[in-house]
Amino acid sequence: MRIVVADRIAASGVEYLQKQDDFEVVEAYGSSPEEVLQLARDASAFIVRSETRITAEVIEAAPKLKVVGRAGVGVDNIDLEAASQKGVVVMNAPGGNTIATSELTFTHILCGARQIAQANASMRSGKWDRKLFSGVEVFHKTLGILGLGRIGSEVASRALAFGMRILAHDPYLAPARAEEMGVELRDLDTVFSEADFITVHMPLTEGTRNLIDKDAFARMRDGVRIFNCARGGIINQKDLVEAIQSGKVAYAGLDVYEEEPLPGNSELRGIPHLVLTPHLGASTREAQESVGLEIAQSLAEALRGGVILNALNMPSVDRKTLQALGPYFRLGENLGNFLQQIAPDQVKKLRITYYGKFVDLDANPLTRTILKGYLKNISGDTVNSVNAPILLQQLGVENEVVKSNEARDYHELILLEAETGDGGRYSVEGTVIGKAGLPRIVNINGREVEAPPEGIMIVVENHDVPGIVGTIGTILGRDGVNIAAMSLSRNRLGGLALNVVNLDSRPSEKAFQSIISSDSIESALVVVL
């Protein structure tokens, strides 16, 4: 089997593969897109970092391709959907860069406090400007950390060692976990208004894109210092430049950018109070050694039909278990994602209850897939079936799995429940129906429904009065949104009813507000799966 190493990884990873008798290793560093297409024809596997793009065209041109391995975390350069459709496993090495990125972040923080880079440049030009480069101490300063996952937690521990006060914003982190770490959990406005330093450690999602923009800067204290070693696009670069030039931001440090490589004519390059590094988060000898060897070993195991680790587009299961549980993986992931969107951000406990044949099966792979779905919008591309339980634990959320012999209306059923600290409870149940094994949501918060868990959905709770269906349909019709399916449920005649509407496209904000403002509608929520 031919393995194409398209981007340079640690020598130990390449050597490991070369020592295997059943592999032919092709080192093709710096290949053009045309050359990658040519190499794909005989490739059983690709190993890439962030430089080489594995597009749908590349996957289509590779009839033997089984695995794509990313030596690192982010897979923005790999077409996951195309890979899944072709049965190509995409895996990454999520754990190797944690320390490297957290240390780089704190290096940026210290450089922002003491102007090391600017002072060095001045010295090299022959100057001696001691007064110009007066800095500040981090001791007793307040550090705001946005996102307290693996890397954010490591940054927090280093900041505490320097005597900093830590304010953390992570809507999914349990308060008990924050207290255990020695940080203060606060809302975003509080972090913005009180922090002297702010560092970003969130995935890039629709919810975090341009999270720090002109309005956010306006809420910060004058002279704030801000840093991003996570993902480009979370900080609006244009607004950051204006904030630095106005003096609102005293110093900033970036390792990631909206466009990479950073264009040579980018205005960021001319800002004196801004330290730039070329995406060095994982660029340490130890991190590269770790991720290079990790991805080589995982990829080799997958090619030989063994246990699949760190897969981003499929669960890690053996073939026998996969055959039995296979129809439920898509259902489970979408149920988890659905529950996360209808429940509050802070959840104390998740409970998964299996009914039917699941009782006699090892449901662990399915459980991991459900947790991955729940964390999809929280952890972004860092979550997979392997690390989902760990990430959930880091959020301080308890996970319980129950297998029940209780008779239910369906032969096999999955019940997911989320409990909050104040006793709130949110639930969704699902199964597969028919010979085709079609996934269906059959209960939401105790209300019986039947809805496909896919695409764009609106979940509406309304008073059981005539005309509601017509109202919703009219508003969506005026908005050019087609209804694909609708399921209705009510607790009693004239009581509260639940409408679950599957849509072909997302409604505009104006249309959604029109639905919410209707007199007989209690609540409405858009869910995107």
Which CB contacts under 8 angstroms, 24+ apart, belong to 488-494? 488/449, 489/444, 489/447, 489/448, 489/449, 490/447, 490/464, 491/447, 492/464, 493/464, 494/463, 494/464, 494/465
SS3 67: strand
Residue tagged 């307290």 (tokens): 148
Strand 456-463, strand 496-503: pairing: antiparallel
Strand 425-433, strand 438-444: pairing: antiparallel
Residue tagged 């024809």 (tokens): 41
Q: What is the C-alpha R_g of the chain?
A: 25
- Do 248 and 224 touch, CB atoms closer than 8 A? yes
Which CB contacts under 8 angstroms, 24+ apart, belong to 22-26? 22/304, 23/300, 23/303, 26/2
Q: Which of 510, 497, 513 is nearest to 460 (CA)?
A: 497
Strand 274-276, strand 249-254: pairing: parallel
Q: Is 294 a catalytic residue?
A: no
Catalytic residue among 53, 165, 279, 490: 279
CA distance 3 to 11: 15
Would residue 367 be called left, alpha or beta, if left means φ above 0 and alpha means ψ between -120 and 50 degrees?
A: alpha
Q: What single-letter amino acid sits at 491?
A: N
Structure tokens at 326: 């296979």
CA distances from 487 to 299, 417, 447, 458, 515 (A): 44, 21, 11, 11, 17
CA distance 354 to 417: 12
CA distance 413 to 390: 25
Q: Is 260 a catalytic residue?
A: yes
Q: Is 206 a catalytic residue?
A: no
- Do 166 and 147 touch, CB atoms closer than 8 A? no
SS3 407: coil
Structure tokens at 4: 């194409």
SS3 content of the chain, % helix, strand, coil (to 5): 35, 25, 40
CB atoms within 10 A of CB 509: 9
Helices first, then strands: H and E counts in the chain: 17, 22
Catalytic residue among 150, 169, 231, 368: 231
> What's the sign of the alpha-carbon dihedral 151, 152, 153, 158?
positive
Catalytic residue among 15, 260, 267, 286: 260
Catalytically annotated residues? 231, 260, 279
